[in-house]
Amino acid sequence: MSNGGWHNFSFFKSNSSGYIILAKEDVIANTELKHRSVDSLFSEKIELYVWDAKQIGDLVKVSRRISELSADENFIRQDLKRHGIADEDIPEAIRITKNGNEKDRAFYDLIKDAMNDSVKVVTRKIEDVWNDEFPKLYEFIIEKA
């Protein structure tokens, strides 16, 4: 979090031992922070956390449905027409939509087998302030329930 705003962080899976270890560079590379100069990251407050089972379960369901709908070109065409897109603009809109759908599908593939409902999260949240240039390492521990 910086200046009252949030930098969304990408999802990571634990390794087979239930550990997620992130370096400061991982945090930067997987947020909007990668677009800022290193010098501007001084006093950056960060919060890393594990989503609970309901949050991730809901996200998996929604992502699966979006993935299913976005694979249906007829549905996309009808939806574009419903939203007033001109017939001559529909082929380009479908192409753009399909490009976005590839990212949605990749996201779904990443989270679809999440098991947050069957694990015990030992480290739920990590907070830190980057007030120096020393390397940072953050470790989440997740155990089988």
Could you report the per-residue pLDDT of 96-107, keeping only the tens digit for each? 888 888 878 888
User: 56 and 46 in one domain?
Assistant: no
User: 3 and 35 in one domain?
Assistant: yes
Q: What's the confidence (pLDDT) of residue 1?
A: 41
Whose structure tokens read 């192409």?
95
Average pLDDT, the chain: 76
Which of these ranges, 15-19, 58-62, 78-82, has the smallest mean pLDDT? 15-19
Q: In whole angstroms, what separates CA 47 from the centre of its chain? A: 14
User: 101 and 67 in one domain?
Assistant: yes
Domain with 106 in it: 51-118
119 vs 109 pLDDT, higher one: 109
Nearest alpha carbon to residue 115 among 72, 74, 145: 145
Q: What's the confidence (pLDDT) of residue 83?
A: 94
* Lookup: tokens for 97: 């939509």
Average pLDDT value for residue range 88-100: 88
**What's the rounded Cα separation, in Å, for the pair 24 and 54?**
28
User: 129 and 81 in one domain?
Assistant: no
**Cβ neighbours of residue 39 under 8 Å, at least 6 residues apart?**
none
* pTM (two decimals): 0.57
Q: Is residue 4 very low, low, confident or very high in pLDDT (cuts 50, 70, 90)?
A: low
Q: Which tens digits make up the pLDDT trace of 38-53?
A: 666 666 677 777 777 7
User: 23 and 58 in one domain?
Assistant: no
**For strand 119-121 and strand 19-23, is the pairing parallel, antiparallel, or unpaired?**
unpaired
Q: Is residue 22 very low, low, confident or very high in pLDDT (cuts 50, 70, 90)?
A: confident
